[in-house]
Amino acid sequence: MSKLHLVFGGRVRDPRGLDFVSPEQVEIVGVFPDYIGAEKAWRAAAQRTVDDAEMKFVVVHLHRLLEPDLESDGA
């Protein structure tokens, strides 16, 4: 099974949390077949908005959501 990863982000109420101000305006960076690609995309998106403390990008492990009972051997 592919280990799909989703990278997205947007404006959050508190930079320490994940409460997005406008979920309908979340920026979808992309879906990636491995964590390495997702991390590169996450770093690029985060770097682009580094001066805005209310912008946050995250990596979601879609494969863990799709098949939560499978043991994960890495990211």
Pairing state between β 55-61 and 5-11: antiparallel
Distance CA 41, CA 6 (A): 10
Please, which residues bridge with residue 55 across strands?
Answer: 11
| Type of residue numbered 27 | E
For position 68, what pLDDT does the model report?
Answer: 82
- pLDDT one-digit tens code per residue, 55-67: 999 999 998 888 8
For position 66, what pLDDT does the model report?
Answer: 84
User: Which H or E run includes 56?
Assistant: strand 55-61
The number of folded domains in the chain is 1
What domain range includes position 45? 1-8+32-70
Residue 54 lies in a domain: yes
Q: Are 48 and 68 in contact (CB under 8 A)?
A: no
Residue 7 has pLDDT above 60, yes or no: yes
Residue 66 lies in a domain: yes
Residue 58 lies in a domain: yes
